[in-house]
Structure 1
C-alpha cells in the first residue's frame, strides 16, 4: 500500500513538473514576442531557473505563414507544439495605409465604426459616372490621434517568402470518392474532389485544386496557387505564393485563414492575385502580405466580389477592389478597381465595412499590430 502510494505520488509530481516546465517555456516565448515589438525567432534556447527546479528548451521557427512554438521539458520526454501569433487591440472598422488616402464612396458603399487615415479625406462621390447613392454612409474619421498605430503596424514578408517548395515527391495526386487524407502530402499537382476528406492534413504543392463536396478539417496547405470551388466546406490555413481563388456556395462556419504572399517579378511587374468571388464565412482571416509590392503597379492584387459576406478581418498591404461585406475589421493600402481599361483609384464602390469590436482575429506575427501574444493548436 505504502509503495503504491509513493509511486502514485511520484507520478503526480512528475506530471505537474512537466506541465509547469512546458507552461513556463510557453510563457517565456510570449514574453519575448511582446518585448521585441516585431517577430522573434530562435532555433534553440534553453533555460534553467536559479534553484534548478525548472528547465526547458524552446524554439520558434517559421512554419508557413505562422511561427511555430516548440517547448520541451528537462529530459525532452514531454513537448508542446503550436502556432504562435497575436490577438491585436481593437481598432476602427477601416484603416487605410496610403500616405495620402483620398477616398470616395460610390454606389451604396458603407463604413460603420470609424475610419483611420494617415492624411487625406473621405467623401461621397459626385462623379457623374460613379455617384454615391442615398444608401452610402460613413461616420467618424480619425487622423492624427492614430499616428502611433501606423508606426506600430509593419509587414515582415521576408520571413515567409522561402516557405514554398520547388521540389516534390510526386507529380500528380488525385483524391476522389470518399478517400481521406490525414497525414502529410508533398505533391506537385493535387486534386481533391468528390467527397474526399482532409483531417488535420498538411499539404505542400505547386498547384492544388479543391472542388465539389470535399471536406477540409483543420487543414494546413502551402502552395504556389490554391483554388477552392463548389460546395467545399473547410477550416484551416491556406497559404499561397502566387494566387488564391475562392468561389464557395456552402456557408463556412469554422475558422479559415487565406494568406497570399505575392512577389515582384520585374521592375514594373508583380505576381499576386487574391480573388474571392463567392463565400459566406463566420470566422475568416484574409491577408495579402504584399512582398515588395509598390503602389505604382497597375494591377489590383485583392478582389472581393459582391457575393462575399465575411465575419472576421481583412488585411492587405496592397490596393483592394472591395464590393462585398465584412463585419469586423479591415486594413488596406487603398481602394480601387478597373472598369474596362479605366482605373478608378481611391473609390470604394458598393462595399460594406461594419466594425465589430467583439471579433478578435488571431494574426501571424509577420503582420505586426501589437496586442496580446497567443497560440493556436
Structure 2
C-alpha cells in the first residue's frame, strides 16, 4: 500500500481555512484546465494533488504533492488508479482544513477530511473505468474489471461523505444520481470563449512557430480535435471526410497516433495530422473549418464549445454533453449514427447555419459564468470561503 503524506513544513499552511484538490496535475487536459480556473477563484488556497507534472501551472509553493509523486506511478495513471483510493484516505492531506473543494474524475472525492469539515465535490464524471466502461474501453481491461465491484462499493460510500456535489453537466448529474445515489447541482465548466475568439479574430497564428500549418490549409475541410485515444473515435472523423469528399484535418496527440496515421494514409481524401498544435494554430483551425466533427460521447465536451465560439458548427453524436451544448440544426447537427447518408446530410445542413448565431451560443459557457456559479455554490455552503475568493 502507498501511504500519502505532506511534508511537515507545508502542513501548517493549510491552516484552518480551505484546500483545493485535483486528481493529478498534467500539462494538458480538460479537467486540469477547469481546475486552473477553479484555483484562480480561490487564489490563496493551497492545492493538494498526488503529483504535479505541470510545474508551470501554479506556484510551486502552493502545490502539495503526496508520496505517490516519488514513485513511478506518477507516470502511469492506470496503475496509479488502484493506489489512489488508499492515498486519498491519509489523515495528513487535509486534517487542518475547514473546507475542501475537490475536482474529481476518478477518486479525488475519497479525500479524508476532519469530522467537522465541509467537503464539496465538483464532478467531471464518476470514474468511467468502473461505472461506464462502455464509454471508455480502458475499463474493459482485465485488471479494471476485476477491481470494479469492490471499487464501486467504496466509491459510492465516499460520495456519501460529500456535503454537496456539483456536476459539470446534466448528463453527469444523471450518472451521479444513478451510480452514487446522490443529487447534484449542475455547474457547466469554463470555456475560454473570449480568448479563443480574440485569438482567432486577430489571427495570432501568424506569430506562432507552427503557423505554417494554417497557411497551407485547404479551402474547405472537416476538423477533428482530441487526444489520440480510441474512445475519441477519430476514425469516424476520417470516415466523415470520405463520405462527404471533404479533406480532413486532425489535431492532437496521444498513444493512438500510429493507428490514426495508418487510417489517414489509406483514406480516399486528403487527411492531415497536426500534432499538438499551439493554441493560436488550434484557434485558427477552428475558425477555418467547415465543421468540427466530434463523434465521442463526452460528459460535457469543451472542444465543441471552443469551435462554436468562433462560429464553427459541430457535427456530433446525439448523446452525452453535446445534447446540452449543441442545438440541432441551429448550432450544429446531431446524428444517431455516423453513416454516409447522415454525414452528407449533416454537412449540407451546417453549411447554411449563421455563424454569428453559433458564436453567440457559446457565451453561456464562459469563464465568467463558471466563476459566478462556482463562487455562489461554495459561498452558499461555506460562507467563510468568500473571504478567500478573487
TM-score bracket, normalised by the shorter chain, equals under 0.3
Relative to its length, the structure with more strand (as a share) is 1
Query: Which structure has the higher relative contact order (CA within 8 Å, separation 6+)?
Result: 1
Relative to its length, the structure with more helix (as a share) is 2
Q: Under a length normalisation based on structure 1, what TM-score does the superposition of the two structures give? A: 0.26
Larger Rg: 1
